[in-house]
A = this chain, B = another copy of it.
Amino acid sequence: MSINAAIEELSTLLGQRLSRSKSDLDQHGTSETHFALTPPDAVAYPANTEEVSAIVKICARHHCPVVGFGAGTSLEGQTLAVQGGVVVDFRDMAAVLHVGAEDMDVTVQPGITREVLNEELRATGLMFPVDPGANASIGGMASTRASGTTAVRYGTMRDNVLGLEVVLADGRIIQTGTRARKSSAGYDLTALFVGAEGTLGLITALTLRLHGQPEAVTSAVCAFDDIEAAVSAVQMTIQMGIPMARIEFVDAATVAAVNAYSKMDLPLCPHLLIEFNGSDSAVEEQATLFGEVVEEFGAKGFEWAKKPEERKALWTMRHHAYWAIVQSRQGCKALVTDICVPISNLAEAVEQTRADIAASPIEGPILGHVGDGNFHAILLFDEANEAEVQAANDLSHRMVERALALGGTATGEHGIGLGKKKYMQAEHGAGWDVMGDIKQALDPQNLMNPGKLVRGN
């Protein structure tokens, strides 16, 4: 079999760094969410770009699928080798290659996680702000075009990757972008590979835009009577140009889960969590203005967390919300939705979703990045209960339909993977065919993460 022939050659190339142990295969066949175990045929641990290129060349010769793997935190089964083949795990390519403090950029290997990167940057006064919650790898974050709580201020991976090194489907190594802040030199290949989920090539290095660590940070939490008031307050804040670093929404059901999990006692109603970054006086001014805005919309219990430990508790609570929700019902699985709509339609989208979930037999707390119009319902179901599985899938399906009808997208930040592929035609129309043409041009054998993102298998 061709996959076996590839594995034999890879084994000669990599020795112990090609693994076929059951535990390794199972670990790389698992997803964070509801997808079934899908072990690959082998896991490769390359040490450098040349080895990645050699791996891909071997796989290309033997028609063996290649799937990239960072920290395994993706939520749509992006790293599952659904056609078998080799998972390339970037565990051993996790170094910081160059810190350009003067240029506020850094070049890293794809396996480094965002927390390790920020730890390494601490002494420079700089930070990499994109924060999807999970301690994801930077290569994975780029591949799924991740964002998270800070996108409202600092943008998504699209906005923070300056350039890439990529191993193409035939093993050629290319550089995209430069270390200059901008360029008009031809097609934006950097943007093409960011969000491509490894279907066009494997990212082997990334140059990232850094930002200064803010002089001052304040966070706050406040409660609202209903979702609409909370969203309206956010809209006005954005329109006034008050530069929020984070603005997060949690519904009453999420509050109940995090209260239990993080031993907090927030009132059981919708909340906004907010953070401002800047100079002392700027943060003070922003906080005051924001306080006036939310008061207009009937916010209650408005409280500033000025101390670092209070702030940390607040954002740890937010980052643990997913786990808090999943653990609120023992033994359940989670279907995580990820729609994003124009902000003017956000209150409607959240309210309709909430009502839809309330009328269903399952629970689905809602939380999201309200400054971007992006929110998640964490739909909890018992795998063994067919009615619940069906209800979760139906709710998720209707959320996407709702998002598309409201001018939005099936996925704000989690990507397509296996879970959202069925919506690509509805969202992109003939644009999906164009994606297929690009895939065909750059990966004619369909070996790079096959079965994902584009039409066909």
Contacts and interface: CB of A to CB of B under 8 A. Distances in A.
B341 A238 contact: no
Residue among A175, A281, A420, A428 with the highest chain B CB neighbour number at 10 A: A428
A430 B407 CA distance: 38
A175 B431 contact: yes
Nearest to A239: B212
A158 interface: yes
Interface string A411-441: 1111110001001100111111011011011
B186 A413 contact: no
A154 B147 CA distance: 19
Contact of A182 (B156, B180, B235): B156
B434 A174 contact: yes
A373 B428 contact: no
Contacts of A454: 186
Interface string A436-452: 01101110000000000
A183 B342 contact: no
Interface string A160-198: 000000001000111110111111111111011011100
Nearest to A156: B182
Contact of A184 (B343, B412, B431): B412
Contacts of A255: none
A186 B429 CA distance: 12
A276 to B, nearest CB: 12
Interface stretch (A54-62, A102-110, A261-269, A326-334): A102-110
A373 B186 CA distance: 19
B188 A212 contact: no
Interface residues of A, number: 91
A342 B105 contact: yes
A196 B434 CA distance: 15
A159 interface: yes
A144 interface: yes
A457 B350 CA distance: 52
A243 to B, nearest CB: 9
Contacts of A430: 168, 172-174
Contacts of A178: 340, 407-409, 427
A428 B183 CA distance: 12
Interface string A11-53: 0000000000000000000000000000000000000000000
A453 interface: yes
Given A191-B191, A192-B188, A438-B438, A180 B103 contact: no
Nearest to A125: B239
Interface string A69-86: 000000000000000000
Sorted nearest first, the 10 A-B pairs with minimum C-beta distance are A191-B191, A441-B441, A183-B409, A102-B344, A179-B407, A180-B340, A212-B241, A180-B408, A184-B415, A174-B431
Given A181-B343, A191-B191, A212-B240, 17 more contacts: A102-B342, A102-B343, A125-B239, A151-B182, A158-B188, A174-B429, A174-B434, A175-B428, A178-B409, A180-B340, A182-B372, A186-B424, A187-B195, A188-B192, A189-B435, A191-B192, A241-B278
15 contacts: A104-B239, A125-B239, A173-B430, A174-B434, A176-B428, A181-B340, A182-B340, A182-B409, A183-B412, A184-B411, A185-B416, A185-B424, A189-B431, A437-B441, A437-B442
